[in-house]
Structure 1
């Protein structure tokens, strides 16, 4: 066939056949378009070195939208480079390999993170949190360093910077940075952007990181002391209701602080938590229902009266329909910590819910389902019961217990006569 590619019109006129075929370009020797029976069109460059025939796949030509693939002009420009190498007794394949090596050697840690973010982090439920940590705590120190030059000294600059105002190393922050750095390095290794890990044996604990698993949970005596002290807290009544709700529902603080009125059906007593997203950090890939006890419904009804009807959030900031920061709740607890109660965090209230409900002898599977935990082992695979009634039983019993603990003990007066007995 004598047909050659002379213009875009030639490409647009090509049709698929039973067998794939090649059409050479009229301008650049060696440049061809390959048309497959499926209709896929691919640019190739064919050449000969000595007696050996070689080819290079260059990219696709997309008939429907040429601009999203490799256009005719782009293919001719790229093939022109290959032809120039041949005329100077250079192998185009070898030259391309050399260029790729030089590009890889020039890639920085930030380039690797951008690739990691695009291909993996953006698909994770809580990718935004890791992205924020990287931009704030990692990029300023090692973002501009070439991957090939990255060493333990550079990594230590990141870890050494994480100290508090008293000069103590911040284990949690160091652990988070260590995890992200390792994820990016392993991604770079998988894509051949990096040959070796600069510190393969380095553990977070080696640089002062690693979060200690806490077992903090409040005893029944501490819960009673906490509930009894709430009326004396120096804060708005809405914040007192929030603390009681956190203790009463057992859910993550992020899910509670981001709760919308639209998610609640007070009449049927159900809270529908949506799947985790950029707006809702529920740590769940699916939405789920949480039944509401009388204790929780009463708190929500009180809260409804104190929040403007047009506001979306259930537990907003006091003057704005904006999400409260968890740090504000932690500060609230710290400022008002009652005597006889050791320091605790909002997440410790969730651990308290699970621990004390278990102590009460309530169904452990229903407890786990209530807090949104995955069931262990094969139960997760085969048991798809929603346990809504069982969850309600747990929450109702827990709410009744909290109500009981809220009531201050009344000490009866002892008369003089009875005292003398």
Structure 2
């Protein structure tokens, strides 16, 4: 799917680039607010609606550099009128984008599955599930919570570098579709 990602990247709306860079649920992404992000550390804090526990994710610096702030509102991803995007609107945008470049349909879940697979190759299945699926923490008897947070941030950075390799350099894959200019 690397070739498809490379083909989609030009003119891909920022909300979809963020989805590709983080693998997070579309609903969480469209509800992002700048007040949820510590811009110094890149930590995005979300409160789970089902519980009182917060869930944090360190957004790679490269990703933060291409998310512009808007004067229309405090949401991260806004429509031209300053309103938050909706998952439905974003899905329609993705459909229109891939259709405009002659690709078969790609969904937000397809992208999340791709990110999960890539993160599994870069780390491990348990860690990828923590990042992409917001899975429960590994028992602290096995790995301390601090080490898990560091491992998640490291995995996000590794995926960020890998994604940059794909979209900026057209790099080879980790066992996926080789590209013509691979190195």
TM-score using structure 2 length: 0.79
Determine if the alignment matches structure 1 residue 292 to structure 2 residue 59.
Answer: yes
Question: CA distance change for structure 1 residues 285 and 252 in 2, over 3 Å: closer, same or farther?
Answer: farther
For 2:166, the equivalent position in structure 1 comes to: 405
Unpaired runs of 5+ residues, structure 1, are: 1-218, 234-239, 277-282, 413-421
1:316 is displaced (CA, Å) by 1.8
Question: CA distance change for structure 1 residues 241 and 381 in 2, over 3 Å: closer, same or farther?
Answer: same
Contact 1:363 1:394 in 2 (8 A): no
Higher relative contact order (CA 8 A, sep 6+): 2
For 1:223, the equivalent position in structure 2 comes to: 5
1:294 is displaced (CA, Å) by 2.0
1:404 is displaced (CA, Å) by 1.4
Matched residue SS, 1:324: coil
State the 4+ residue runs in structure 1 displaced beyond 6 angstroms.
none
1:342 is displaced (CA, Å) by 2.8
For 2:173, the equivalent position in structure 1 comes to: none
Question: For 1:273 and 1:296, how far apart are their aligned partners in 2?
Answer: 18
Superposition CA RMSD, Å: 2.5
For 1:270, the equivalent position in structure 2 comes to: 43
1:299 is displaced (CA, Å) by 2.2
Question: For 1:258 and 1:246, how far apart are their aligned partners in 2?
Answer: 13
Q: Counterparts of 1:247-286 in structure 2 under 5 Å?
A: 247-276=20-49, 286=53
Unpaired runs of 5+ residues, structure 2, are: 171-179
Question: For 1:288 and 1:408, how far apart are their aligned partners in 2?
Answer: 33
Matched residue SS, 1:407: helix
Q: Counterparts of 1:1-400 in structure 2 under 5 Å?
A: 219-227=1-9, 230-231=10-11, 240-276=13-49, 286-300=53-67, 303-304=68-69, 307-308=70-71, 311-320=73-82, 322-337=83-98, 338-339=101-102, 341-359=103-121, 361-371=122-132, 372-374=134-136, 379-380=138-139, 382=141, 385-386=145-146, 387-400=148-161
Matched residue SS, 1:288: strand
Contact 1:272 1:289 in 2 (8 A): yes
Of the two, which has the highest radius of gyration? 1
1:275 is displaced (CA, Å) by 2.2
Contact 1:248 1:295 in 2 (8 A): no
In the TM superposition, what whole-angstrom CA distance separates every residue of 1:302-321 from its partner, at most 9, and x where no partner exists?
A: x12xx10x62211122212x
Matched residue SS, 1:273: strand
1:323 is displaced (CA, Å) by 2.2
Question: For 1:346 and 1:224, how far apart are their aligned partners in 2?
Answer: 16
1:242 is displaced (CA, Å) by 1.2
Contact 1:245 1:299 in 2 (8 A): no
Contact 1:250 1:349 in 2 (8 A): yes
Contact 1:273 1:287 in 2 (8 A): yes
